[in-house]
Amino acid sequence: MTSRLHPTTRWLYQQVWKRLKKVGIAGKISPLNFSLIAVYVSGLILLDHRQNGTRIASWLPGRAHDAINRLLRTEPLSTRKLMNCLIQWLPHLGKGYLAVDDVVVEKPYSKQCTWMGWTYSTSKQRKVHGFHVVALLWCSGFWRIPVAFRIWRPKKKCSAQHYRKKTTLAEEMIVEVVQQGLQFEYVTGDTLYSGGHLAKMVNRMGLVWVGVLHPKTSVYYRYKKWQVAALEQSLKLKWRKHLGVRAASIVAYLPKYGILRLVVTKNRHGNIEVLATYDLDCDLTTIVRRKRSRWSIETLFKDIKLLGGLAACQCRVDQALVRHVAFVLLAFVILQCLRLHPEETLGEVKERIQRKTFLGDVSDPIPLRGKVPLSHFLTA
């Protein structure tokens, strides 16, 4: 397959092939499917938009686009096995933490795929037509590795007995990665993934959970019932210079959760946020920093949309969309492996790969000067 590629793109395919083999995917699937995945991931990295099977096959003609379509639609392939390979690869990177969240991928013209539906987008503050991806991200230092994902199906697109909430999907993923032996320090999420059932389940498993409570959550403090958003009135918040917020920490009882350590924060704009954890011995600074670490999953969604072609799949088959999302997450991991140094952003990595592919090893010309010396014309 390598011999059929253009000489300028052959090196990229070989680099992707080596990284995928190092992760352990080669031992889980057939050699043909492994080579096709390497071609697909290389196309996702190389192209900027419309990363579908036809364009990938035209830029990387190792196989025809029909083979790529069969990979997405009919070939025997488990996306959970691909994610499990990433889990088994993680121990040498250290011990990190888990962040869970979901993203809306807008597909206004996709009407045939049953994953699509009308859903509310918090970024656009309105309903959009598309699909939801619920992701579980493992982070440690400059590494961001997606270890599990689920595509959420709207209630109108499935029967009542098959419908599952996003929090239920998050519970399944956390249980799955724990059974695979993944080590992490804590689990964090936003308000949606701080529901009582999910938090209790994480606590029963012996894990540390840090979340954000809904402002209307009931809490009993000092023999009085409050809403957590009103706790700021009864507390004296102290300015924490190293955190940039006013904050205070208390232990209170919540009917929906039980006894929790709460941290009430108020930033310079007057926005109040109540953080919670079952770890009663945890200090205020640690809780605030653990909550802020959730932002890593937001950068994941931004990168896979802009750099990985998350919305590029044009196949109507349900299975094809699931596999496309899995390959996009693999491309995100490979981009991190191709960094020259930890400070290099993934956008810079992709630009460097494109420049080397399109320009080869040709060095940049000498930059023009504002004033050309007279000796230049005399020697010419």
Domain boundary assignment for the chain: 2-77+315-359, 203-288
pTM of the model: 0.89
3-class DSSP assignment, residue 66? helix
Residue 28 has a CB neighbour count (10 Å cut-off) of 16
Helices (H) and strands (E) in the chain, counts: 12, 12
List % helix, strand, coil for the chain (3-state, nearest 5). Answer: 45, 25, 35
pLDDT block averages, 10 residues each, the chain of length 380: 80 91 88 91 90 87 85 89 91 89 87 82 83 92 92 82 88 92 91 86 91 91 88 88 90 91 90 91 92 92 91 84 93 93 90 86 65 58
| Residue partners of 288: CB distance under 8 A and separation at least 6 | 240, 243, 245, 247, 263, 265, 275
What's the confidence (pLDDT) of residue 364?
Answer: 65
Pick left, alpha or beta for residue 13 (phi over 0 → left; psi -120 to 50 → alpha; otherwise beta).
alpha
Contacts 24+ apart (CB under 8 A), 72-78: 72/313, 72/315, 72/317, 72/319, 72/320, 72/323, 72/324, 73/315, 73/317, 73/319, 73/320, 75/33, 75/36, 77/29, 77/33, 77/323
What's the confidence (pLDDT) of residue 373?
Answer: 64
Strand-strand pairing, 209-212 and 184-189:
parallel
What's the confidence (pLDDT) of residue 211?
Answer: 92
